A and B are shown apart, each in its own frame.
Chain A
Amino acid sequence: MTSQISPSRRPTVSSVSAWVLRGGVVSSSLVMLVGIMFTFAHGTMSIQRMKSDGFDYRPGIIIEGIRHGQGKRIIEAGIYLLVFTPILRVFASSILFAFQDRDRLYAVITFVVLLLTLAGLLWIG
């Protein structure tokens, strides 16, 4: 017989949100720290560089840079991970509202928030 999941153990919107958020901040911090270590291992750092070296958002360049062990590109991947953390949280909530809680109203609300947020992130500016 399959063991029944007790109500307190069942994933809820709150517990999954907390889990996604914590996973996101911990993993992005670790990635950024690795990037810093690679940067210092491969060269020097100056205030001038810190203040002028901007983000390159293109995923292709970031992936290429990570292949070559460039610290800055690893940091950029970490920043992306952090930026997508709240969005992933909204996505996970909409799935739970829809399929676990069967709460159609909040599933729709959350899904629209997800679309609006992605539109803002990807198209604005």
Chain B
Amino acid sequence: MSDAAQSIFWLCQVAGASFVGGVVGSISGLGGGIVIVPVLTLFMHLDIEQAIGASIVSVIAVSSGAGSVYVKDKITNVRIAMFLELFTAAGALVGAGYLARIANPQVLYVLFGLLLLVSLVPIFAKLGEELPQHVENDRMASYLRLNGSYFDKRLDRQVRYNVTGIPAAVGVMFAAGIISGILGIGAGVVKVLAHEVAMKVPTKVSTATSNFMIGVTAAAGAGFYLRRGLVLPFVVVPVAIFVLIGAFVGTIVMERMSNSIIRKIFALLLAIVGMQMLLRGILGGL
């Protein structure tokens, strides 16, 4: 193959993986690193850090692209996002500024992977549930006015919901921030878990709100990769553009899906990310 043909073939593979990453990321609220990082390392033979660098930029693209749709359609709970972002951002600073020097990333990957696999249990317990039942606002949720409503295109009605478990969610978000800060990943999966399991908001609201938040977390973490030259401009362009197209397609699909299907997709991805982190800790790479 000629040099030009080879480059074009290579770019097509990157573009395809990015499109899939954008669709999956915008439906699940995870951003898309879950698809992009393994493809870039295993098939495109980039270093893990360069792959994460590209993935961080792609997370910002998915979060902003899909976010613009979910916010306009009022599925995102902006108050929940802003309040919890306080703790992820603080956690990320503590993680990157202080703990990154003393923590062993391999051990952390293994712990994180195990934690995610364990959190499959509460997700499985409510796998088929369409909307959370009998949730009352806790005191902090009332004070912060976190409850809300959204129009569900699938159910064809306005869904009102309350929010609970704020202290637990705050703790989980701080931990998610620390993990992002040390490992340089968006940790969107932890954000969805906090919304879903601790706060008991409807699944569409939890993925849309996580999606909204991960862009800010990723932007805070991007400086590290930009300054070290770990973001490859010529890789990032196809990734960013195709991830965006995927994200817009994903929003159309997600709004018309049932909450229980989205939760099943999320459970599958949770298992995959858990295994991925475990393997990354044990083998390095992936």
Q: Which residues of A contact B (CB under 8 A)?
A: 13-15, 17-19, 21-22, 24-25, 28-29, 32-33, 35-36, 39, 44-47, 49-57, 72, 75-76, 78-79, 82-87, 89-90, 93, 105-106, 109-110, 112-113, 116-117, 119-125
Contact = CB atoms under 8 A, between A and B. Distances in A.
A29 B68 CA distance: 15
A44 B3 contact: yes
A32, A35, A56, A85: residue with the most chain B Cβ atoms closer than 10 Å: A85
Given A55-B231, A124-B97, A47 B7 contact: yes
B64 A86 contact: yes
A41 B10 CA distance: 20
A109 B143 CA distance: 14
A86 B63 contact: yes
A113 B231 contact: no
Given A50-B232, A113-B85, A121-B219, 15 more contacts: A21-B68, A29-B241, A36-B237, A44-B3, A51-B50, A53-B233, A75-B234, A78-B237, A85-B64, A86-B63, A117-B216, A120-B89, A120-B92, A123-B223, A124-B223
B83 to A, nearest CB: 6
A47, A55, A105: residue with the most chain B Cβ atoms closer than 10 Å: A55
A93 B82 contact: yes
A27 to B, nearest CB: 11
Interface of B: 3-4, 6-7, 10-11, 44-46, 50, 57, 60-61, 63-65, 67-69, 71-72, 74, 76, 78-79, 82-83, 85-86, 89-90, 92-93, 96-97, 144, 181, 215-216, 218-237, 240-241, 244
Contacts, number: 190
A2 to B, nearest CB: 27
A7 to B, nearest CB: 15
Contacts of B93: 116, 119-120, 124
A72 B85 CA distance: 33
A94 to B, nearest CB: 9
B60 A83 contact: yes
14 contacts: A15-B72, A22-B65, A45-B234, A49-B234, A54-B229, A86-B60, A86-B63, A86-B218, A93-B78, A116-B89, A120-B220, A121-B220, A124-B181, A124-B224
B268 to A, nearest CB: 27
B78 A17 contact: yes
B10 A50 contact: yes
Nearest to B89: A116
Contacts of B215: 85-86, 89
A36 to B, nearest CB: 6
A75 B92 CA distance: 27
B205 to A, nearest CB: 13
A54 B232 contact: yes
B49 to A, nearest CB: 11
A106 B222 CA distance: 25
B60 A82 contact: yes
Contacts of B236: 32, 75, 79
Contact of B241 (A14, A21, A32): A32
A72 B76 CA distance: 35
